[in-house]
Structure 1
Amino acid sequence: MVDFSKLNNAGSSKSAGSLIETFARLDRQVSHVELRPSQIEIFKQIDNSIANRDLVVKLNTGGGKTTTGLIYLKHMMDKYREPAVFLVPTTQLAEQVVDEGAKIGLDVHVWAAKESYPPEGCVQCAAVMVCTYDKFFNGKSTFARKDVRLVPCALVLDDVHSGIETIKKNFSANLVLDASRELIDLLREPLKQAEPANWTRLELGDEGAILEVPHWIISENIDAIRGVLAKYSGDGDLLFSWSYLSRSLEMCRIVIGLQGAAITLDPPFSDYLEHYVKVRHRLFMSASLHDGAPLIRELGCDEVSAANPIQVSGETAVGERMVLVPSLIDPAFSRDSLLRLARHFSQLTNVVVLVSSDAQSEYWVSGGAVKAEKVSFSAVVAKLRAESRGNFVVFVNRYDGIDLPDAACRILIIDGLPSGEGIVDRLDNSNSGGLLGMRGKLANKIEQGLGRAVRSSSDYCAVILAGQDLANFVSRRVVLESFSSGTVKQIEIGREVSKAIAQEADKVTGIANALGQLLGRDQGWREYYATQMASIIAPPGIAEEAATRRNVAVAERDATIAAQARDYPGASNKLRRAANLLEKDRYSRGAIKQSAAKIMYLHDRVAAMDLQGSAYADNYNLSRPPVLPAPSQRRISDQADLLAEWFREFDDKNGALIELDALAARVSYSNDTETVEAAIYDLGRFLGAESRRPEKETGRGPDNLWMFGERAFCIEMKSEKFSKLWKSDAGQIAVSSRWVSDNFPGMAEIFDVIGSDVVEADNVGDFSDLTKVMTGEVISDMVVRLRGLIVGLITQGPLFGEDPANIQRQLGPHGILPQQIHGYLREIK
C-alpha cells in the first residue's frame, strides 16, 4: 500500500488560493458537475474582494447561488479552521443545500430546530453547517447558549430578502390574549384621549380597527409596560424575542387591534447577536437585490458592498414568463372564469395558485384545488415535481421558499395583493401612501412569487396576476421602481399581450389560446418574447433613487446604534437629515420624522412634539400630536396639480381606470360605514382635492373633508341611514362646519354636505340653506365623469396627459370643478 501522506509535500497542505481551486479539490461524485462560465466569473469577482468583510452577490435563480455560497464557506472554513454556516429561510431549502453539497462533493449537515448541539462534523470543520434564519437569529438561539457559544468564521445569508422578514419576526411578538388585555387596560385612558376615533371603533368591535400607540404614550408609561410584558415573557412569541425587546423597549412600536396587541423593534438591532456581529466574513445572496437598502438597515451590511453587488455582467432575466393581467383584458373578468380556466388546464399541465390567507384559499379548494398544508407541504411539492400534469394546488403565503422548476408548474396564478401576516403589517399596508418600506415589501413578495415556477434560463411559465388590487398595484410607477428591470419588462410584455386579447370577442377563449401558445411553444410567441427582452432599458432616475434609499438606510442604522448608546440628540439629528433627502415622498418623509421625534422625546419633549407635528403634516396616517400642526403647515394644492400627481403614480395609465372601477364598488352605500368613508376619501384625492378624514385622524370634525384651494366640502356620511334626516343630523353638520372654519380660516367657501340616499328631512328648517345631500347616484355620476377625463388623458399620451395645465383645461368640460360638483348635490326636502 502506498503511503501518500509521505509523498505529499508541505506546500500542498495549504488552503486553496481561490474559490476555483477550492472547487477543484472537492471529490465530486458526479462527473458532469462542473462550473458554468457565469459561476467562474462570479468566483473570480469574489476572489478579487475576498478580504472584504461583507460581500453582496446578485445572481438569478438557476444561476448557481447555492454552489457559490457553499464553495465560499468551504474556502473560508479551510482558511480559518473554524465553522462556517449557510442560512436559508426554510427547512425544505436546508435539505436542498445538503443535496447540492452532495453533488459537488462537499459534506453539509443540518443543525435543525430543537437540536441542542451543533453537528460534530461542522464543529470539527469537516462539513459546512446549514440552518434556518430563525435558528440563528431568535432570541434563544442555541448559537448563543453558554455551553455552545458558536461564532462562525463565515456566514452565507441566502435568499436574504426573505431572511430579513424572518429576522424582523424574531424582533417582534404577537402578545398572548392575557398580556394584550392587561396592556390595553393600562393604556386605555391615554389612548382614548390621543386616538378617540380609532379607540371608539375598537370598543365597538370593528374588525378593521387598528391603532398604533403613540410613542410619547409608550415613553410616559414605559415602566408599567415593561412590567406587563415581563410578566408574560415566557409565553408565546415573547419567549423568543423578549431578550431583544426588553433592551430597547422605548424604541419599540406597539400596535393594538381587535384580536390583541403586537410589539416590534423596527429596525431590528442585529448587533445584539454576538454570533452575528463577530463573524469575520459575510456573504449576502439574493436574486432580487435592487438597491441594497434593507441589507444596510436591517443587517448592518457595509454600504459600499451593498451599493456594488457582485453579479455577472450582461446576465439576462432568468427564464420565460408570459404575464397576463385579466383586469386589463376585461375589468369585469370574474374569478369564476379564472377558476374554470385553471381546472381545464390542470388536466394538461400543473397549475399552482398563490394566496395570502387560509380564508382566501378556501375558494380554490372548493373549486377542486388541493391545499398544501404544513404537514403535507413536502409531499405536495414532490408530487408536482414528479408529475407533469393533473395537479391543481394552492399554497398559502408561499411567495418564496419553494422551487417549482420545469413541468412542476407551467401556470402560476397569484390571487390578489399579498396581505401582511400580522397586525403591524396590516396597519402599514392600509395606510394611504404606505409607510416606509411597505411598498417595497409588497413588491418584493410579488416578484418572489413570480419566480416560483421559473428556475433556470430554459424554463418557462405563464403567470396570471388576478384581482383588481394586484393589477392596480403593478401599474404604479413607484412599485415598478422596486422591481428588477427584467421583471418590469416581463410585466410590460404581459400588458401588450393582455391588450391584444382584450380586442377579441371572447376574452376567456382569448386567454386560453394565449396559454395554449405558451404551452405549445408557439414560435411567434417565443420570437416576440426574445425580441422584447433583448431591449431592456433601466428607467431613468433608478440609480439616483436607489442611492437615496441607501443613504436613508445608513442614517436609520447609524441612528439605531447612537440611540442604543443613549446618544439621543445625535440619533434624532441623523434621522432628521435623512428625512430631508426624501423630497419626493412625503409619506416616507413623515415616517422618518416620526422616528426622529420618538428618539428626541427621550431628551427634549417640546422639540419632539414640534417635529411630530411636522411628521403628521406630511403623513396623516401617523400618530396625531396632542397639538395639531398650524394651518400654515397643512398643504393645500391646486386641483390639477394633485390630480396630475395621482395620475403620475401609474406607469401603465390603465391602472388608474382599474382603480376607479374598484372605487365604484367600494363607494356604494350598501357597504359598511368605514369602507364608504375610506372610499369617499379616495374619491376626493382622485378628483384633485386635498382629501382628509378629520374625525378619524383627530377625533373631531367631519367624517370627510375635500379641499379644492379655498373651497372646502365638509362631509358627514350617513350612508346607513334609511329614515328621515333629523335635527341631530343638522346639529352635527353645523358643528363640523365650524371645525373646518376654525382650523382652516382661509377658506372662501365651505359647502356642508350630508352623504346619504335620504333627502327628506323631518323639518327642513333645521338645516341651513347651504346644506346639500350627496346621494349614491351623485357619487356614481362623479366617478363616471372622472373616468371620462382619465380616458381622455390616456389617449393624449404622457406628455400632455400628465401636464397640470392640460388637466386644468379638461376639468370644466368633464364637469368636475368644485363649483360644478356642488351643483350636482341634492336639495333637502
Structure 2
Amino acid sequence: MVDFSKRLNKKKIEKKVNPIDIYETVDRKSDTGPLRPAQTEILESWYNQRKEERDLIVKLHTGEGKTLVGLLILQSVINSNEGPCLYVCPNIYLVSQVCAEAEKFGIGYCTIGKEGIPNDFISGEKILITHAQKLFNGLSIFGINNSFTKVGTIILDDSHTCIDTIKDAFSISIDKKENTNLYNSLISLFEDDLREQGEGSFLDITYGNYDTLLTVPYWSWYDKKSEVLDILSKHNGDNQVKFSWPLLKDSIEHYTCYITSSKIEISPYYPNVNDFPTFSKAQHRILMSATTQDDSFFIKGLDFNINSVQNPLVTTRQKWSGEKMIIVPSLIHDNLDRDLIVTKFSQASFKSFGSVALVPSTRKAHQYKAAGAVIADSQNIVEEIDKIKNKNFEKLLVINNRYDGIDLPDEDCRILIIDSIPYFNSLSDRYEEVCRPSSEIMNKRIAQKIEQGLGRGVRGEKDYCVIIIIGSDLVKFIRSIDSRKYFSAQTKKQIDIGLSIAEMTKEDEAEENQNHFNIVISLMKQSVGRDESWKQYYVDEMDSIIDYTTKSSLYEKLAIEREIEKDFLLNDYESACKKLQEYIDKYCSDELEKGWYLQQLARFYYKTDRIMSNDMQKAAFKNNNQLLKPKSGIAYKKVSYINQNRLAKVRDFLVQFQNYGELQLATNEILDNLSFGINSNKFESSLQKVGEMLGFISQRPDKDIRKGPDNLWCGVENHYFIFECKNEVSDNREEINKHEAGQMNSHCAWFKSEYGDNVSVSRFLIIPTKNLSYQADFEHDVKIIRKGKMRDLKRNIKHFIDNLHSYSLPDISDDTLQKLLSEHHLDIEDLKIRYSENYYHKTK
C-alpha cells in the first residue's frame, strides 16, 4: 500500500473546520448538488460570527435542508477537536432519515446499539445520532443528575417537540386497562378529596362513561405524598412507572395528579431540564426551529436565556417558502358546513396525488371512516403513510391528533384538510386549556399546533398544497383578530389570502343557486392545475410581507415564571411567593388568568401558611371557577328573574359582537359544540351560552360550586330549567341506568333545597336514549332530550340568528325580537315542551 501522506504537504491534510469547506471535501453522493443559498448563509454566519455562543437557535424554512446544516455544524466542531457531538431527533422514526442524510453527504456518524454509547462518539470522532426519548428519560443511557455523559455540542432537531418529550419523561401515565391495581389504589386514596371537588364528576369517572377530568387538590396531594410514594414504589418496575420513577421519587411534592375514567397522569408543575445534564451542561446547545414557530417556550421548557431566543440565526434571503392555498368553505357559503366537506372528500378519489385530513379526536375520525375514508392509528400509521409515498392515492387518509413528525411532500399530499382545533394530549395540558381559555400562552400553543399541521403538505420552496379549513372553532380561531395574532407573519398572510379568496368567490358568483361545492372544486383545480394567475397572485401577496420575523411578548413573562418555579424548587418559599405576587400585580388583568396564578400562589403558601393558602384559593376560585374548589368559604348564589326583561337580555347577548359576521361565527361554534359526542365541558359551556342567547340567566352549578345540575336557566316569571347532560354516552346505549337516574334525582333534590317547593321548574336529561332501566326511577317529572330534539333546537336557533343579518344588532326593537323568537319556536312554552319527550320505564 502506498503511503500518499508522505507525498503531501502537512498543511494540506489538516482537517477542514469551516462547514462550507467541509461540504466541498466530503464524499457525498453524485446526485447531491451545491449548498442552497439559505444553507450557505446560515453556515457562514454561524462559523464567522455565532459559533462561540453557548445557546443558539437556528431557524430555516421547511424544506431548506436544516438537517444537513446541523450535521455540517457538528462535523465542524468534531474537526476542531471540540466534541463529543450529539444530534437528537424528535422521535425514533426520524433517526433513520437523519442517518440516511449523513450517508448521502458523506458525514461520519454512529448510533446507539446493544453495546451502549459508541466509543466513536465518546472520543469525538463521529456524530452520535439518537432520539429525544433516548436522552430524556429517568433511566437515560446518558445519565441523570451528577452522573452523566459530557457533550461538547448538542443539537435538538424540531426542538418544540422535544419540550413535550421532556415533560413526558417526568410524567407517569397510568392506563386503567393496563394497570388496574395501581389505578384503583390511587382512586381509593383520593376518593373523598375528589368527591369534594365534584361528586357528580367523580361518579362519572367511577362509572367510566365520560371524558370527565378531575384534579387532585394540591393540599391533598401534599398531605398524602408518603402514601402516594408507597403505592408507586410497589409498581416501580412497571413500564408505566419505571422510566419516570428516578426523577419523581424525591420530588413528589412538586407534582400533581389528574384523573379520568381511563387513566391517571402524574406530572410536574415545572419539568426541570437541568435534571438531564448531558443537555443542560453541554458546552454548546443548538436548537433547530422552523421559521413559523414561536421560540418563546424554549425559555422555560429548555432553560434558554432571553437573548438567545430574541436573536436566532435566520436567513435574510427569504420571507416565505412554499405555496398554500387556504380554503375556508363555510366562509364561501353557509351550506358548505363541516359535515358536507367530510362526506364529499371521504367519498372522493384522487388518482394522481394524495389527500390527507388531520383531526383532533377518534370520534371525528370515525365520521370520515363511515363515509369511506381510511383511518391511520398508532398501529398502522407507518404502513398507511408508506402507501401514500408509494403512490397509492385511492382514499383520503385521516390522521388522528398528529400535527408534527409527518412529512408529505409534493404529490404525497396536494389536498390537506385541517378539521377543528387540535386537542392537547396530556391531561395537564387539557386542564390548563379549560382553566385558561384566554391565556396568551395557551393560544400560542394552539396556534403552534395549527401551524405544524399546515406544514405537513408543503415541505419545500417549490411545493404546493390546497389546505381546507373546517370546524367552526378552528374557523373562528384563524379568523378572529384576537387569536390570529398568535401566528407567524408567514401564516398570517396565508390566512389573509384564504379569507380574501372567500370574499372573492362571493363577488364573482354569477348564479345565486349554483352548486357552491363546485366553487371549492374550482379553486382546488386552480392550485393543483397550476393556474398562472393564482400562482402570481400568491407570490405578489406573500412578497408584501414587511416584517417576517417572529416576535413575542412572552419572553419576560416566561423568564420570570422560570425563576419563580426555581425558587420554589429550592425551598425558598418567601422569595417565590413575593415574586409571584408581583407577577400577578403586573401582568394579570384578565380575571381567568389572575385566578390561575392565584392558585399557584395558594399552592406556594400551603407549606408555610395554610390559612393564607385557603384565602388565596378562595380568591382564585372567585376569579375562575374552573379551578380547584377551596376547602371552605364557597357559598351558592341563587338566581332569579325579578325585574329582568328577557328581550333586553337577548339584546345584551347580541351587542357583545362587533357585527353580524362575528355573531354568526360565535353561534356556529356554540351550536357545533352542542352536539352528542362533544367533550362534556364544551357541551355544557355551549348550553350555558345558548341560555344567555335566548335571554335567560344561565348558570353551571356543578362547575361553579361542584354541586347541583350541569346547567340551570332562569326565565320569565321565575320559571327554571334544569339540565343534566349525558351527551358523551354511546349512541348505542339501550337505557338510562340507575346511576344516571340517581344523579338526576340528587340534582333535583339540590334544586329543591335551594329554591323550595313553590317554584316552577322543567327538568331535562340530555341523553341518546329515552328508555329508563327497570332498576332505576325518577323522583320528579323528567323529560328526555335526544339527538333529534336537540337537532331541532339547534336548527331553530340558527335560523333565528340567520334572520338577524339585516338588522343593526344594538337597534333591534323588542317587537322584532319577540316576533323572531316566536316564529322560530323559542318562546318559554316552546322550550318547556317542544324539544323534549317522555321517558319509557322498562319493565321486566
Q: What's the TM-score bracket when you normalise by the shorter of the two chains?
A: 0.7 to 0.9
In 2, distance between residues paired with 1:738 and 1:432?
36
In 1, distance between residues paired with 2:250 and 2:695?
46
Range moving further from structure 2, 471-480 or 776-785: 776-785
Residue 308 (structure 1) aligned with residue 311 (structure 2): yes
Letter in 2 for 1:111: I
The residue that corresponds to 1:525 in the other structure is 534
The residue that corresponds to 2:282 in the other structure is 279
| TM-score, normalised by the number of residues in structure 1 | 0.82
Range moving further from structure 2, 654-663 or 249-258: 654-663
Matches within 5 A, 1:793-808: none
Structure 1 residues 76, 432: closer, same or farther in 2, change over 3 A? closer
Instruction: Pick from 396, 406, 425 the counterpart of residue 402 of structure 1.
Output: 406
CA-CA distance at 1:281 after TM superposition: 0.6
Conserved? CA contact 1:436–1:587, under 8 Å: no
**SS of 2:51 mapped into structure 1:** coil
Residue 682 (structure 1) aligned with residue 689 (structure 2): yes
Structure 1 residues 628, 753: closer, same or farther in 2, change over 3 A? farther
CA-CA distance at 1:219 after TM superposition: 1.4
The residue that corresponds to 2:522 in the other structure is 513
In 2, distance between residues paired with 1:660 and 1:4?
78
Structure 1 residues 76, 719: closer, same or farther in 2, change over 3 A? closer
The residue that corresponds to 1:45 in the other structure is 45
Conserved? CA contact 1:196–1:698, under 8 Å: no
Residue 696 (structure 1) aligned with residue 700 (structure 2): no
Residue 268 (structure 1) aligned with residue 271 (structure 2): yes
Residue 489 (structure 1) aligned with residue 493 (structure 2): yes
Matches within 5 A, 1:639-788: 647=657, 654=661, 656-664=663-671, 667=674, 677-683=684-690, 692-700=699-707, 703-704=710-711, 716-717=722-723, 733=751, 735-737=753-755, 754=762
Residue 75 (structure 1) aligned with residue 76 (structure 2): yes
The residue that corresponds to 1:152 in the other structure is 151
The residue that corresponds to 1:580 in the other structure is 585
The residue that corresponds to 1:227 in the other structure is 230
Instruction: Pick from 571, 581, 604 the counterpart of residue 566 of structure 1.
Output: 571
In 1, distance between residues paired with 2:206 and 2:765?
28
Letter in 2 for 1:555: I
Q: Aligned pairs, how many?
A: 773
Residue 317 (structure 1) aligned with residue 306 (structure 2): no
Matches within 5 A, 1:134-533: 134-144=133-143, 149-175=148-174, 176-288=179-291, 290-313=293-316, 315-332=318-335, 333=337, 335=339, 337-341=341-345, 343-358=347-362, 360-365=364-369, 367-372=371-376, 377-387=381-391, 390=394, 392-431=396-435, 433=437, 437-501=441-505, 503=509, 505-533=514-542
CA-CA distance at 1:280 after TM superposition: 0.8
Residue 612 (structure 1) aligned with residue 617 (structure 2): yes
Structure 1 residues 719, 177: closer, same or farther in 2, change over 3 A? closer
Letter in 2 for 1:110: T
Structure 1 residues 815, 96: closer, same or farther in 2, change over 3 A? same
Conserved? CA contact 2:711–2:724, under 8 Å: no
Structure 1 residues 623, 386: closer, same or farther in 2, change over 3 A? same
- Structure 1 residues 619-670: Cα deviation after superposition (integer angstroms, max 9, x where no partner): 22111212347999xxxxx98999699747xxx9846524413433655899
Structure 1 residues 222, 493: closer, same or farther in 2, change over 3 A? same
Conserved? CA contact 2:236–2:245, under 8 Å: yes
In 2, distance between residues paired with 1:734 and 1:121?
76
In 2, distance between residues paired with 1:454 and 1:180?
43
CA-CA distance at 1:34 after TM superposition: 2.1
Conserved? CA contact 1:41–1:312, under 8 Å: yes
Letter in 2 for 1:609: N
In 1, distance between residues paired with 2:480 and 2:210?
29
The residue that corresponds to 2:604 in the other structure is 599
CA-CA distance at 1:365 after TM superposition: 4.4
Matches within 5 A, 1:94-105: 94-105=95-106
Structure 1 residues 245, 70: closer, same or farther in 2, change over 3 A? same
The residue that corresponds to 1:20 in the other structure is 20
The residue that corresponds to 1:130 in the other structure is 129
Conserved? CA contact 2:28–2:105, under 8 Å: yes
Percentage of identical aligned residues: 26
Gaps of 5+ in 1: 633-637, 740-749, 759-765, 768-774, 797-806
CA-CA distance at 1:215 after TM superposition: 1.0
In 1, distance between residues paired with 2:71 and 2:676?
59
In 2, distance between residues paired with 1:728 and 1:14?
79
- Structure 1 residues 356-386: Cα deviation after superposition (integer angstroms, max 9, x where no partner): 4455444444555444455655454444334
CA-CA distance at 1:296 after TM superposition: 1.0
Structure 1 residues 643, 359: closer, same or farther in 2, change over 3 A? closer
CA-CA distance at 1:608 after TM superposition: 2.0
CA-CA distance at 1:757 after TM superposition: 11
Structure 1 residues 701, 131: closer, same or farther in 2, change over 3 A? same
Residue 624 (structure 1) aligned with residue 624 (structure 2): no
In 1, distance between residues paired with 2:548 and 2:153?
36
The residue that corresponds to 1:33 in the other structure is 33
Residue 552 (structure 1) aligned with residue 553 (structure 2): no
In 2, distance between residues paired with 1:94 and 1:668?
42
Conserved? CA contact 1:485–1:536, under 8 Å: yes
Conserved? CA contact 2:421–2:473, under 8 Å: yes
- Structure 1 residues 256-278: Cα deviation after superposition (integer angstroms, max 9, x where no partner): 11113111113311111121221
Structure 1 residues 384, 782: closer, same or farther in 2, change over 3 A? closer
In 1, distance between residues paired with 2:562 and 2:394?
49
| TM-score, normalised by the number of residues in structure 2 | 0.80
The residue that corresponds to 2:86 in the other structure is 85
- Structure 1 residues 480-516: Cα deviation after superposition (integer angstroms, max 9, x where no partner): 2222111122122222323444656212222111111
Letter in 1 for 2:480: R
Structure 1 residues 383, 700: closer, same or farther in 2, change over 3 A? closer
Residue 536 (structure 1) aligned with residue 545 (structure 2): yes
Range moving further from structure 2, 654-663 or 458-467: 654-663
The residue that corresponds to 1:118 in the other structure is 117
- Structure 1 residues 218-258: Cα deviation after superposition (integer angstroms, max 9, x where no partner): 11211112211222222132111122222321121201111
Structure 1 residues 657, 561: closer, same or farther in 2, change over 3 A? same
CA-CA distance at 1:210 after TM superposition: 1.2
**SS of 1:602 mapped into structure 2:** coil
